[in-house]
Structure 1
């Protein structure tokens, strides 16, 4: 569909309308679950008419970042090569006796096993339920399709003591998609919204899990559909399919009912090393990969090897040909003229200036977050930047309450007196993580940053 749409929009019969397209992925990962059986040649992009028409140049990436050169990495490479030996199977089976310092996430091949495990564990907890319903806005038909692609749930039921997994990256707070923890309490955020779950991570840090936004935006950055929910799910168990993209410290995996080639590869590759694995069962299907994907992978490696042998001048010529075909130029004089014209043009409005427009309308943080399809924490970060770069903008409406400001200011002054050079961010302020720890994690990072906008530092 993308191929046809781009041809139409760009009025060109060339593949993807003549646009340069980069495909990235691993065909040993699992395709989406289908209710109807599909032959292999309908599951893979490389079998599509658009792929064949585009005839992409293949660059095979070999660097591994999740696993280092250890036993698990060796086993995964054997699965990819379709050459799993008995010693590899024995190593996997021996992990049944591994002991973990944390309760491992359980991975199953079937949804029924996962739902049953999570429901049993949640029901067994003697605690009150907190129920969170997603907020959905936008085109109804697009939303139906969008929701199916999300791992986050429309209705989330939690209790104190339940095991959960974060579903969205938050690099500022050191949280990744797959970070595990336990709900230890429920509390309100700095603006008295909530109650939200307080999650204790494996490193003992406590994080208040506040709502996040998933959205599909148009070319102007305006959300066409928006889905807001607490970025958690129960994590005593998850399916192998849903685990794709995650990194797990510890996992208990049952591959005895694996029903599709690649399930074992995906499940095992969630871990960093064998010490984190406890394998309860495995069948032959679990250590197989799709035959068509295997053949394609072999061919991709060959094609990538052929490209590696080409002289550098060939790449330069291909690069220039593409630029000319797209209506561009490599002439330095023309490029200089273009740069000068670009500088002379009115600068594109920045994301912070967009937020300022909503501030001027008197919107609350929650309203701006919804309107922009961004997390509230992102908008709070905008306020801090605006206070620095646009000091004339009135942000007083977003000032945290006096008691909280006093607490943050007090801890800031204490920390500032004994801070080292590496404790400061590029803007000259103390890193928010220092104040976060000083307040025992009771105030989230984004609220601390918001408070920074009003501190005299």
Structure 2
């Protein structure tokens, strides 16, 4: 079994009437073992003398929802079977987890490898003693100082999970053929998405790094795939039975001579007779399900065979398990259940008779681990070439652990701290590793497309006119079939760019979700109907637009006073102060009881003095006179730089002026839009097919790629996608069009396979790679002039820029409908609006602040630059004064949540940070002021239930 919070692999339980208290006890037992394991983890951390940050990172990798507790039953065997070496032995292997702790009965079978004698030795069962061994993951964390033990198990029979026991290394021999054996291993494992790598202090100590970074998910998947490859290569000894599966499996037998063998190509279907849960497991995709139980009923008991029920309840049994339970009369339960508890399989007796495969798999295990390391290294190098998300830093890993705990989380930080990186990692973890239904929202359609999500309006089934409805009517609208279904199926809501979400908009969302998701008990409905809420953004950036436009209670248009400092409802709801426009001022925010996290490590800039100036700008602290002089007059290299303006009119004027100065031929590209509509799953999305007069889809109007792109030689351009991260060509890279390359079908980007050796800028990877390949070829076929632009970037790299296809998954459930636009990912680079530049990294930028009208604009504009040497400010220093004082409500909020140190550190005089800056010694309130990861992820047994 695993955590009840792990919905990707739900626990499957025997009926409550068969084992009353069984489920509740095991859930409690699981979390008690987690507490014990965390204490062991702390002891290991202390023994390795890790730094404080390293210790926090290692703890955060183990939030508690990824462990496995297994109840194993090894039935007795007859003498003939025991004498067969292929039936009685399973070779040695290492655990893949961080470590394992083991309960075993008196009929022990665990053996461990003694390096001194180079033999296996018995781990003799002793009362009150738990055996523990280090697994592969912690061996990597410790850089080999804690080595993964080679162990084997001697048991009476080997009823292993589909033939591959994925952690503890076993060798199965006969000790007491006529007796069964019970054992309970607890595999303490990291989160699937967490990066497992040697800690820096240990690498420096050893002067070498023994392992490359890898995630538990990648490692497990690759190990399974390679083991299956070895088995499928049929390098096995010939079996004595007439038929053999291509991969190692458990054979289920209902009677001697009558076998039921699951085909190797068909994954098991697991069913719960009590809950009706059905799911499939494919070992090439993920680790096997955690709910493999082997139980024996009291109804038919053999006196000479240890009984599970007696073992856990009787003297010396598991502490805390009910000693006496009045059991109702139920139909006879099968005496022994082995393997996956499928409805049909529950009526079968399991006998493991594929030991040859197991022996073979174990024999190649050591070779496999080496091969996996090599493969992981190749995968990492490939990911670096193909533009994956960067690895998480320690504070980001801790934040990911906090999100995994199930709490509502608000996280923020300066531009360049990696908020988007954490968002993408959290989505992968929640969807892929925890099986959660996640929806990503943003206040506008453009912002939503940037994060492959939908606008808050679309998710709620609203249009902006819905704000004209009274709240009661708005809530009732949530009971429409598809809207209600979407809301009730949601596990996690992620809202990006929270600074632009207005107070009452969040209130409306909260009230609607509570009404629909908790309709049976609205009075006690939890915030947002019990959905886990993760919000991110920076309140120091762009504020809500047109707050309090319509009364939330009656829908009437609000009447502002002369200064628009207060809004009044014609029906006397309110008044509402303009200063209360922020989402954090809403009652919904307080109800959500967020954990507030402030990310402090900046990844975009590495000039500490410049970082301090940006922090002051963000927090509204006035620049000192010498700081203003430095910003306005410093050595810089801004030739052929992009200019940022606060208004679109200025942008259009400068781009048009410079474009018309060029005399080279014009190449025009029209976007190719398409909507792959899954009509059966999403009939309500019919309007996504609506098109503009130019043939583009209306729903693509907020795409970051333009509907029409005009290019010509000598034109300054900005790249809109991550083309080659390793080569420094990312979203925001600037360059000059140096020519055009005739279309050659052989050179088109294509979906990359494992054996392809093509450059990263021509390789398409990911879930929709084949679709993108097709759309790019179709895009060029439809263009009047078939030529690709060639760009010489400021870093000296020259690249042919092919079309990019951006695919967005739309709909409530899989398979999703797909909205996609294909276009050349370049825009004119002479000028750009501050708003459109959000998220970009510009090596050279000229900022004009003469028309700045919001304090957030100044900060967004300045923080696009990577260094002072690539930044020039025009339009006078008056624009810098708009940050003076900042927004007082935002300042008070940040100070209340993250402490005065957030401001005090930025207010240091220049002498404290000039010269050779040292790392900031400011306090880190963001993650230290909330409960520790250990506290967050070890709930009391009642909460865990």
Q: So what's the TM-score if we normalise by structure 1?
A: 0.62
Instruction: Give 3-state SS (helix, strand or coil) of 1:103's partner.
Output: coil
Instruction: Give 3-state SS (helix, strand or coil) of 2:855's partner.
Output: coil
In the alignment, structure 1 residue 57 sits paired with structure 2 residue 595: yes
Instruction: After superposition, give the CA deviation of every residue in 1:252-303 in whole Å (9 maximum; x if it has no partner).
Output: 1111111111111111111122121111123255434333322222223149
Of 253, 268, 271 in structure 1, the residue corresponding to residue 862 of structure 2 is 268
CA contact (8 A) 1:7 1:16 kept: no
Of 542, 546, 552 in structure 2, the residue corresponding to residue 30 of structure 1 is 542
Instruction: Give 3-state SS (helix, strand or coil) of 1:21's partner.
Output: strand
CA contact (8 A) 1:262 1:286 kept: no
Q: Measured at CA, do residues 277 and 320 of structure 1 come closer, stay the same or move farther in structure 2, by a change above 3 Å?
A: same
Shift of 1:230: 0.8
Of 594, 601, 606 in structure 2, the residue corresponding to residue 68 of structure 1 is 606
Quick one: distance in 2 between partners of 1:160 and 1:280?
A: 28
In the alignment, structure 1 residue 210 sits paired with structure 2 residue 802: yes
Q: Measured at CA, do residues 157 and 7 of structure 1 come closer, stay the same or move farther in structure 2, by a change above 3 Å?
A: closer
Shift of 1:127: 0.9
CA contact (8 A) 2:598 2:926 kept: no
Quick one: distance in 2 between partners of 1:123 and 1:160?
A: 12
1:87 is aligned to: 626
Q: Measured at CA, do residues 62 and 101 of structure 1 come closer, stay the same or move farther in structure 2, by a change above 3 Å?
A: closer
Question: What stretches of structure 1 of length at least 5 have no aligned partner?
Answer: 330-457
Quick one: distance in 2 between partners of 1:217 and 1:168?
A: 18
1:166 is aligned to: 719
Of 898, 920, 928 in structure 2, the residue corresponding to residue 308 of structure 1 is 928
1:108 is aligned to: 645
Instruction: After superposition, give the CA deviation of every residue in 1:188-238 in whole Å (9 maximum; x if it has no partner).
Output: 344074312111111222211111122320443644321211111001111
CA contact (8 A) 1:271 1:277 kept: yes
Quick one: distance in 2 between partners of 1:226 and 1:21?
A: 28
Q: Measured at CA, do residues 237 and 20 of structure 1 come closer, stay the same or move farther in structure 2, by a change above 3 Å?
A: same
1:191 is aligned to: 745
2:917 is aligned to: none
Quick one: distance in 1 between partners of 2:898 and 2:856?
A: 19
Bigger mean CA offset, 104-113 vs 70-79: 70-79
Shift of 1:115: 0.6
1:178 is aligned to: 732
Question: What stretches of structure 2 of length at least 5 have no aligned partner?
Answer: 1-455, 461-477, 479-483, 491-516, 519-524, 550-559, 566-577, 676-687, 692-696, 747-779, 781-785, 901-923
Of 864, 868, 893 in structure 2, the residue corresponding to residue 296 of structure 1 is 893
Q: Provide the alpha-carbon RMSD of the alignment.
A: 3.3
CA contact (8 A) 1:80 1:294 kept: no
CA contact (8 A) 1:240 1:263 kept: yes
CA contact (8 A) 2:743 2:788 kept: yes
**Number of residue pairs matched?**
322
CA contact (8 A) 1:164 1:234 kept: yes
Instruction: After superposition, give the CA deviation of every residue in 1:379-425 in whole Å (9 maximum; x if it has no partner).
Output: xxxxxxxxxxxxxxxxxxxxxxxxxxxxxxxxxxxxxxxxxxxxxxx
Q: Measured at CA, do residues 54 and 197 of structure 1 come closer, stay the same or move farther in structure 2, by a change above 3 Å?
A: same
CA contact (8 A) 2:801 2:824 kept: yes
CA contact (8 A) 1:71 1:274 kept: no
2:883 is aligned to: 287
Quick one: distance in 2 between partners of 1:41 and 1:217?
A: 37
Instruction: After superposition, give the CA deviation of every residue in 1:45-68 in whole Å (9 maximum; x if it has no partner).
Output: 334454333121111111111122
CA contact (8 A) 1:198 1:206 kept: yes
Quick one: distance in 2 between partners of 1:283 and 1:323?
A: 60
- After superposition, residues 143-154 of structure 1 pair within 5 angstroms as 144=698, 146-148=700-702, 150-154=703-707
Quick one: distance in 2 between partners of 1:106 and 1:323?
A: 58
Of 822, 825, 828 in structure 2, the residue corresponding to residue 234 of structure 1 is 828
Quick one: distance in 2 between partners of 1:163 and 1:181?
A: 6
Shift of 1:90: 1.5
Instruction: After superposition, give the CA deviation of every residue in 1:48-94 in whole Å (9 maximum; x if it has no partner).
Output: 45433312111111111112243321211222333222222111121
Bigger mean CA offset, 114-123 vs 276-285: 276-285
Instruction: Give 3-state SS (helix, strand or coil) of 2:735's partner.
Output: strand
Quick one: distance in 2 between partners of 1:146 and 1:44?
A: 29
Q: Measured at CA, do residues 251 and 9 of structure 1 come closer, stay the same or move farther in structure 2, by a change above 3 Å?
A: same
Shift of 1:322: 9.7
Instruction: Give 3-state SS (helix, strand or coil) of 1:102's partner.
Output: coil
1:319 is aligned to: 937
Bigger mean CA offset, 116-125 vs 225-234: 225-234
CA contact (8 A) 1:15 1:53 kept: yes
1:18 is aligned to: 530
Quick one: distance in 1 between partners of 2:715 and 2:926?
A: 52
Q: Measured at CA, do residues 252 and 33 of structure 1 come closer, stay the same or move farther in structure 2, by a change above 3 Å?
A: farther
Instruction: Give 3-state SS (helix, strand or coil) of 1:58's partner.
Output: strand
Shift of 1:101: 6.2
2:757 is aligned to: none
Quick one: distance in 1 between partners of 2:835 and 2:610?
A: 20
CA contact (8 A) 1:180 1:202 kept: yes
Q: Measured at CA, do residues 19 and 127 of structure 1 come closer, stay the same or move farther in structure 2, by a change above 3 Å?
A: same
Q: Measured at CA, do residues 287 and 310 of structure 1 come closer, stay the same or move farther in structure 2, by a change above 3 Å?
A: closer
Instruction: Give 3-state SS (helix, strand or coil) of 2:639's partner.
Output: coil
Of 102, 105, 120 in structure 1, the residue corresponding to residue 657 of structure 2 is 120
2:839 is aligned to: 245
1:398 is aligned to: none
Instruction: Give 3-state SS (helix, strand or coil) of 2:732's partner.
Output: coil
Quick one: distance in 1 between partners of 2:855 and 2:711?
A: 34
CA contact (8 A) 2:671 2:707 kept: yes
Shift of 1:140: 4.3
In the alignment, structure 1 residue 258 sits paired with structure 2 residue 258: no
CA contact (8 A) 2:705 2:821 kept: no
Quick one: distance in 2 between partners of 1:72 and 1:306?
A: 22
1:371 is aligned to: none
Quick one: distance in 2 between partners of 1:115 and 1:55?
A: 44
Instruction: Give 3-state SS (helix, strand or coil) of 2:709's partner.
Output: strand
CA contact (8 A) 1:258 1:264 kept: yes
CA contact (8 A) 2:636 2:868 kept: no
Instruction: Give 3-state SS (helix, strand or coil) of 2:599's partner.
Output: coil
2:154 is aligned to: none
Instruction: Give 3-state SS (helix, strand or coil) of 2:633's partner.
Output: helix
Q: So what's the TM-score if we normalise by structure 2?
A: 0.31
Higher Rg: 2
Instruction: Give 3-state SS (helix, strand or coil) of 1:176's partner.
Output: coil
CA contact (8 A) 2:540 2:619 kept: no
